[in-house]
Structure 1
Amino acid sequence: MFLKTLIFPLTNPDMKILLLLLNVPLFCYVVGGSDCRKEPQCSITRVHKMKSGNCYDRKFRSFPKCLATDVEVIDLTFNRIRKVSKTDMSKFSYLKFLYLADNLITNLEEDVFEDLSGLTTLDLSLNALQKVPVSVFKLPALTSLYLGQNLNINIADALDMARPLKSPLTKIDISRTTDEENYSVFPDFGILPYLVVLNITENYYYTLTPSLFMGFCNLKTLDSANVTTEFEDPCDCWRLNTWLKNRKVKFTLFKCTVIESRCLDNDLTNEDLLIHEKCSEMYKSNELKHTINTILIGVGSTLAVMVFILLIVFYRRRRRIKRNGQLRKNQTERTQNDALKHLNNQQICIPNEYS
C-alpha cells in the first residue's frame, strides 16, 4: 500500500522505475530475512585473519540459515542441533574449520561434507553419532578430526569402506567412544603417513595387535591413558610398548598380563615391519612430490616474472624505436621544408635581366 501511494501519484516515469528498483532489494530482504529474524544470531569476527561465524552457545536447534556463505570458520559448539544436511553445508565453499561439538547430532548423511574441499578441521565430538560418513575420510584437505565422546560410534565400518584414506590426517581424537559395557574392535586406519597425534583415551577394546599401529610412521603422541584391552598374543603388549618407546612416541604404557621375561622375542613380525616400511616410503614419496611442486611453482613464478620484465623491456624498446623514427621523419620533413623555403627565397631575389 505504501508503494502504491508513493509511486503512482508521480508523473515522471523515470522516477517510478527508480523507486521500484530501490524497493526490490528491500522486498527481497524482507522475504529472505524473515527466517533470519526468528533464528539466533551469530557474530562475525576475524580469527587469524579468517572471517569467522561465532555461534557458540546461541541456542540453535538447527543449522543457521542466514550465516554469511563466505566464512572460513564456523563455531557451533554447545548448541542443540540435531541434524546437518548437505544442503546446509554445500553453500560454504570457503569453509576451513567447522566446530559442531556438544550438540545432539545422531545421524549424518553420507555426502554431508562432500562439497567442503577446503575443510581442514572437523569437530564432531560430544554428540550422539552412531556412525561416521565415509566421505569424511575422503576430504582432500582434512588434517584434524575429532570424534571423541560419541559413545558406541561405529568407526570401524566407515574405515573399512573408506580405505585407503585420502585425507592427510595429522590428528585424530576417538577418545571415550566405548565403555565397559560396550567393547569395540580397534579401528583399522590403514596407512596414515602424516598422523602425529592419536587420542584413544578411556576406551575398551576386544583386542589389539601391533600391526594396527604400523601405518603411523610419524606418530609423536599416543594418548592411551586408561585404555582397557586384551592382546591376541599376550607378548604383543610388550612388543607394542617397546616399539613405541624406541620410536620415542609419548604414550601411556599398555598393561601387560604377562611378565616381560616370559616374552623372549619382542621383535615385530616381518609383515608388521613391511607395513611400517611402506608407510615411510609413502611419506618420503609425498614429501618429494611436495618439494618438486614447490620448486616448480617457484621456478614457474620466476620465469613468469622474467617474461613479464622482458615484455616490458621489449615494449619500451619498440616505443623508443618508433619515437626515434618519428623524430627522424619529422626532422627530415623540417629540413626539406627549410630547403624549399630557401629555394623559393632565392628565386624571389633574382633580378629580371629583361626588365
Structure 2
Amino acid sequence: MELHWQLLTFIVCLQSLRSAGFILQEERKCTYGRIEKLLRIRCYDLDLKEVPQNLKTSVEVLDLSHNRIRKLKSGSFQKYTDIKFLMLYDNMILSVEVGTFEPLTSLQEIDLSSNGLTTIPLELFQLPRLRNLYIDSNELTSLNLQALEKPVRAPLEYLNIANCELQDLPNLGILPKLWQLNASMNPLRDFKIDSLANLCHLQVIDLTKSQLSQCGCQQVTNHLMMLGASPKFVPVCMEALDIRECPLPYNRTIHSATFASCQTTVELAETRSFWLFGAGCFGGVCFVLLVVIFCVVHCRRKRAQRRLRNVQRRKPFVISPKNAINNRQPEDEPLHCDIARK
C-alpha cells in the first residue's frame, strides 16, 4: 500500500514538473507519407489551434482531425491548392470565414463531421470537383441556405448530414449525381416527399433513427421502389395506410417537372461527356496522322538533300578535244575523257 502511494506521488510530481516546463515534452510533428501515390500529411491529434502554414504546398491528402481548431480563416488553405482530400473531423470548428475553401479547386472529399458548425459553408457547393461531403454531427438545427447559388456546381455523389437535429432535408436544388444520402438520427418532423424530386439518381437514403411519420415512411418507400432503389435504411412502416389517408404524390416526385429537369441534366452531362470523348479521340487520330505525314515528308526531304550532296561531291567529266578532231578516229578506238580540274 505504501509503495502504491509513493508511485502515485511520483507520477503527480512528474506531471507538475512537466507542466511547469522543467521537463520538456517530446515534440510531436506532422508526418509525411504516400497513399496511392498522393502526398499525405498527417497532423492528427497534435493540439493544433489553427491550420499550420509550414507544410509542403504540394500536399494532396491533409489530415487535421482530432485537434483544437476553432475557426477556419480565409487564408487557411490559400497555399495548399492541390488538396484533394481534407479531414477536419473532431475539432472545435464554430465558424468558417468566407473564401476559406475557395482556393481548393481540386478538392474531391472533405470531412467536417463532429464540430460545432451551425451552417454548411456555401462555397463548398461551388467547388468543381467535390464529390463527397461529410458534415454530420454538427449543430445544423436551423439550416439557412437561402443564399445558396443554384444550380449547385459541385458534382456531389455522397452527402452525410446525419445527427444534426434537422427538421427537414436541406434544399440544395437539383443534384443529378447524388446517389447516396445519409440523413439518419435527425427528427425530420417537417419532412416533405417533394424534396426527393431533386435527386433523380438516388440509390440509397439512410433515414434510420429518424422520426418520420407513418405516411412519410410509406411515401419514401414507394418512391424508392419506383426508382428501383433500396429502401433498406428507411424505417419499417408499421402499417399500410389507405391511399386516401396517405396519397402517393408521384406527380410531385418522379412525374414532376423538377425530376424531369434533373434527368435532362444527367442526359446532357452524359451527351457532353460522349462528345468530349469523341472529340478527344478524333483529335488524337488527327494528331497521329499529322505526325506520320510530317515524318514521311521529313524523311523524303532528307533523302533528297542527301542525293543533292552526293551529286555535288562528284567530279564532272568533259569530252577530250582529241575525240572532236575531224571526227575520224577508228570505231574501235576508245574515247578519251579529261577530268575537269578545279
Q: TM-score, normalised by structure 2?
A: 0.79
In 2, Cα distance between equivalents of 1:293 and 1:192: 22
In 1, Cα distance between equivalents of 2:170 and 2:249: 20
Query: Residue 206 of structure 1: CA displacement?
Result: 2.9
Query: Residue 76 of structure 1: CA displacement?
Result: 1.1
Taking structure 1 as reference, are residues 204 and 235 closer, same or farther at Cα in structure 2, changes over 3 Å only?
A: closer
Instruction: For residue 67 of structure 1, give the secondary structure of its aligned residue in structure 2.
Output: coil
Instruction: Give the letter aligned to residue 241 of structure 2.
Output: E
Alpha carbons 2:206, 2:234 under 8 Å: kept: no
Provide the residue aligned with 2:259 in structure 1.
276
In 2, Cα distance between equivalents of 1:40 and 1:288: 51
Paired residues, number: 298
Taking structure 1 as reference, are residues 338 and 312 closer, same or farther at Cα in structure 2, changes over 3 Å only?
A: farther
Provide the residue aligned with 1:171 in structure 2.
158
Provide the residue aligned with 2:225 in structure 1.
245
Query: Residue 267 of structure 1: CA displacement?
Result: 3.7
Residue in structure 2 matching 1:261, options 231, 237, 242: 242
Provide the residue aligned with 1:51 in structure 2.
39
Taking structure 1 as reference, are residues 326 and 248 closer, same or farther at Cα in structure 2, changes over 3 Å only?
A: same
Alpha carbons 1:235, 1:258 under 8 Å: kept: no
Instruction: Give the letter aligned to residue 343 of structure 1.
Output: D
2:335 maps to 1:335: no
Q: Aligned Cα RMSD in Å?
A: 2.7
Taking structure 1 as reference, are residues 338 and 263 closer, same or farther at Cα in structure 2, changes over 3 Å only?
A: farther
Provide the residue aligned with 1:158 in structure 2.
145
Query: Residue 236 of structure 1: CA displacement?
Result: 4.9
Query: Residue 338 of structure 1: CA displacement?
Result: 11
Which protein is richer in helix relative to its size? 1
Taking structure 1 as reference, are residues 184 and 132 closer, same or farther at Cα in structure 2, changes over 3 Å only?
A: same
Residue in structure 1 matching 2:202, options 177, 196, 219: 219
Query: Residue 305 of structure 1: CA displacement?
Result: 2.2
Provide the residue aligned with 2:21 in structure 1.
none
Instruction: Give the letter aligned to residue 206 of structure 1.
Output: R
Instruction: Give the letter aligned to residue 302 of structure 1.
Output: V
In 2, Cα distance between equivalents of 1:339 and 1:131: 105
Instruction: Give the letter aligned to residue 199 of structure 1.
Output: N
Instruction: For residue 189 of structure 2, give the secondary structure of its aligned residue in structure 1.
Output: strand
Provide the residue aligned with 1:15 in structure 2.
none
Q: TM-score, normalised by structure 1?
A: 0.76
In 2, Cα distance between equivalents of 1:203 and 1:46: 37
Instruction: For residue 66 of structure 2, give the secondary structure of its aligned residue in structure 1.
Output: coil
User: Structure 1: where are the runs of 5+ without partners?
Assistant: 1-37, 346-355
The runs of at least 4 aligned residues of structure 1 exceeding 6 Å deviation read: 337-341
Alpha carbons 2:191, 2:212 under 8 Å: kept: yes
Query: Residue 266 of structure 1: CA displacement?
Result: 4.4
Taking structure 1 as reference, are residues 344 and 317 closer, same or farther at Cα in structure 2, changes over 3 Å only?
A: closer
Alpha carbons 2:148, 2:172 under 8 Å: kept: no
Taking structure 1 as reference, are residues 325 and 85 closer, same or farther at Cα in structure 2, changes over 3 Å only?
A: same
Give per-residue Cα distances to partners, 1:228-252, cap 9 Å, x unaligned. Answer: 135xxx7454222211123232333
Alpha carbons 2:197, 2:252 under 8 Å: kept: no
Query: Residue 188 of structure 1: CA displacement?
Result: 1.1
2:70 maps to 1:87: no
Alpha carbons 1:129, 1:153 under 8 Å: kept: no
Instruction: For residue 188 of structure 2, give the secondary structure of its aligned residue in structure 1.
Output: strand
Alpha carbons 2:32, 2:39 under 8 Å: kept: yes
